[in-house]
Structure 1
Amino acid sequence: MANAASGMAVHDDCKLKFLELKAKRTYRFIVFKIEEKQKQVVVEKVGKPTDSYEAFTASLPADECRYAVYDFDFVTDENCQKSRIFFIAWSPDTSKVRSKMIYASSKDRFKRELDGIQVELQATDPSEMDLDVIKSRAN
């Protein structure tokens, strides 16, 4: 089931962990990495339900691309507890051009594998995905 555009397969563990995050809230976040040699997307790191947003952003490398899913809990103006599942395509300006191209060409196919994503965010700099941005996009 390789992606025609980039030839990347999606490891079963990616879908399994995402389902656990979505249904059981086992994780706060999941960071995914493309293993070029194996031509597939794999889980690089998962965050405990108690992990902070700062712990999540700290787990993204400063100069390498990643995909990530973050389960954001918030309270609405009407005082309702809600959550949104964010898909974040992390592509820092300092990462290699080849890496950016591979991640960009594989993104839509990979995202389709994760059924239940509610908000998508593209970030090239930490400020583009700081907590204020997440909050404003969640509503």
Structure 2
Amino acid sequence: MSVDDECKLRFLELKARRNYNETYDDFTVSLLDDECRYVVYDFDFMTNENCQKSKISLIAWSPNTSRMRSKMVYASSKDRFKRELNGIQVELQATDPSEMSIDNVKSRAI
């Protein structure tokens, strides 16, 4: 599995301009319960020292209800995907919504 050129272009635009964000809740609601996805999200958060930060995060969404073959393909191609999108700062694997809670993502970003 390779990264589509359009995906790479959008990623470079995100890195340069940081202009594609939805709210985190809107983003998580858009994920399907039975389909694996790689998701890149520009995560804005406040540190414990009250500093505004932003980290480009890769979430490997592989829900328990997705087909086994799909989970295997996504698991085996994640490293290549990450290499092709140079600049990922935070990585998270999630199989259900609780694993990608905003607090969980923030704890990895700090």
> TM-score under structure 2 normalisation?
0.94
Query: Is 1:124 the counterpart of 2:95 in the alignment?
Result: yes
Q: CA deviation at 1:54?
A: 0.7
Provide the C-alpha distance between the structure 2 equivalents of 1:105 and 1:115, rounded to a whole number of angstroms. Answer: 18
Match of 2:10 among 9, 17, 20: 17
Q: CA deviation at 1:77?
A: 2.5
Structure with the largest fraction of helix:
2
SS at match of 1:103: helix
Name the Cα RMSD after superposition.
1.0
Alignment coverage as a number of residue pairs = 110
> TM-score under structure 1 normalisation?
0.76
What is the match of residue 54 of structure 1?
25
Residue identity opposite 1:126 in structure 2: P
Residue identity opposite 1:110 in structure 2: F
Radius of gyration: which is bigger?
Answer: 1
Higher relative contact order (CA 8 A, sep 6+): 2
Structure 1 gaps of 5+ residues are 1-7, 29-50
Structure 2 gaps of 5+ residues are none
